[in-house]
Structure 1
């Protein structure tokens, strides 16, 4: 396997990190290797890293976790083995930038391939794929195929909406985008209306939203584009949930569909900096972008790459033009409002 985790068990992971932290930075650099800290599930990134190794001969070592990777890089300091941080949300990116663990990528490939709204103006991060936060709806009980995010607070949906925690990073980004579009006061009013329309306390994940719609507990819910595709195409035990639902691409009034990013940071003290840049640039190439489309069910960031047929089946996407950095600037306000209105209570 070209992708070799630095550790597979918690105790061994801590020992590995401690050992690397004690080593001189120069000793961490290995010709033909790159170290990736990743929030993506191992099974989702393995095909990408295997293809990268096949194309370049550079071995990819990974540490994966569901939280805390940017904090770990900060704690490791100058002796961190991390070359690249791979994230699944703008919130993780903002945390990494705020902690000072990134350095400019400085790549003409990034500047050429990635639209300006999906990368940092100073080059500290770049998206490598995008996903949309959409509406799952009952095929039987919801005849309409169009909806706006603003409509989710309409009383006609009272007792009919399911959603995961308002403090989850995916919902936090959506709420932050709403604030960026409409302002904090209207954002609070909207959150109150959305909360009033919930069929049950926020819980579970995006898959469970589809499950509860299929069970008749609610009629619509909010989820990411790729979860529905995974349930429909690959997860046989959840296929019934997809069969009972459909995906609607909502938009902001006078705007487009809210987008979030899978993104990369080049670590500030990357011991294999050149290989880190090679990996980032490779992830923006045709091979990786096709894999993102067909393995991860995400929208390619590179123009001209075919969208996966299941994702394309949702309809024509009109992506919101709001820069990702603007969404990030409103994340704290969104989190504060979620608590203020008691959204998760």
Structure 2
């Protein structure tokens, strides 16, 4: 990717800060953030951080391309850290060579090793479980396993987004870790045969498919239930959400697959100390509580209470497998998804 001076100038104009500034000055009182996470979630956290520390936050929000941008900027990159979702994006940043280890006793004490990179090159800040949304009217079962999604009794009754979406790649990687490649491929072919339609849309649209009677089961992340139930701008989504019950697969066995959102410290961070302070804040009781309340995600720090809405979904056992192992298996998972032609749909 080539970045011209004109392009850099234009992008700099898009930068927002907690103080309303549009500069990326690299002095001791600032920290520069590239964020894939949405402003409505991040802004309250950054304001609280600035109020507590006096450190000004400068943020670029984007839906894609930030890792590539930091690569192109090289040693001249103003980025101090990247906030992103999914172990896939976190491991991609590490593989791209744009990160450095985060050395902090506070973070090590707050975030379990299973939610940190092998060398602390990424830090998990929130958790989300990959669950099954089941029709309240048409599904009698109140428990399920991922393996059961391949049972022929669900033929034509499952909705899911693209197999190549990072959330599903991580799920398939977890299946490879537990079952091995041969059994996982057979399972994936079984799930494909049970699809009601070609994979498409986001997790919310899979729940809509259950509401509309197009399928009986949908696979999605827990926090989408929170988004739908609290989305005042789209009240129809509350109807979708209220038509389903949430099943936490394998909670009576190895546990439900869990993914994370998190942060990486940029390799050439000009404000490294302030960036580490920000990650420490996001991993603190205050930061974790705000994450839980705003986005209805599960904190990665033990002992921080879930939001009341999340508590209403009940408890579950999380799969304890390290996300570092999941990251290592993502390539094999992606190749397997293509091999079985998952995104071609059930009739292919």
Q: TM-score, normalised by structure 1?
A: 0.91
Contact residue 226 and residue 295 of structure 2 kept, 8 A: no
Displacement after TM superposition at 1:80 (Å): 0.4
Displacement after TM superposition at 1:39 (Å): 1.0
CA RMSD of aligned residues (A): 1.7
Distance 1:39 1:113 in 2: 23
Distance 2:331 2:237 in 1: 34
Distance 1:71 1:218 in 2: 38
Paired positions, count: 328
Distance 1:136 1:189 in 2: 23
- SS of the residue corresponding to residue 276 of structure 2 reads helix
Q: Could you tell me which residue of structure 2 aligns to residue 15 of structure 1?
A: 9
Distance 1:121 1:203 in 2: 33
Q: Could you tell me which residue of structure 1 aligns to residue 170 of structure 2?
A: 173
Cα distance change, pair 269–28 in 1 and its aligned pair in 2 (3 A): farther
Contact residue 44 and residue 295 of structure 1 kept, 8 A: yes
1:222 aligns with 2:180: no
Which sits farther off after the overlay, 226-235 or 255-264? Answer: 226-235
Distance 1:36 1:63 in 2: 6
Gaps of 5+ in 1: 1-10, 20-26
Cα distance change, pair 253–185 in 1 and its aligned pair in 2 (3 A): farther
Contact residue 135 and residue 222 of structure 1 kept, 8 A: yes
Displacement after TM superposition at 1:76 (Å): 0.6
Displacement after TM superposition at 1:200 (Å): 0.5
Q: Could you tell me which residue of structure 2 aligns to residue 6 of structure 1?
A: none
Displacement after TM superposition at 1:121 (Å): 2.4
Q: Deviations over 1:234-269 (max 9, x none)?
A: 342311101111111112784101000111101000
Distance 2:286 2:261 in 1: 16
Q: Could you tell me which residue of structure 2 aligns to residue 131 of structure 1?
A: 128
- Give the one of 62, 68, 73 matched to 1:71: 68
Gaps of 5+ in 2: 14-23
Distance 1:159 1:313 in 2: 30
Q: Could you tell me which residue of structure 2 aligns to residue 238 of structure 1?
A: 237
Distance 2:325 2:313 in 1: 27
Displacement after TM superposition at 1:42 (Å): 1.2
Contact residue 137 and residue 219 of structure 1 kept, 8 A: yes
- SS of the residue corresponding to residue 342 of structure 2 reads coil
User: Structure 2 matches for 1:257-296, cutoff 5 A?
Assistant: 257-296=256-295
Q: Could you tell me which residue of structure 2 aligns to residue 108 of structure 1?
A: 105
Distance 2:226 2:66 in 1: 28
User: Structure 2 matches for 1:156-167, cutoff 5 A?
Assistant: 156-167=153-164
Which sits farther off after the overlay, 276-285 or 113-122? Answer: 113-122
Contact residue 28 and residue 271 of structure 1 kept, 8 A: no
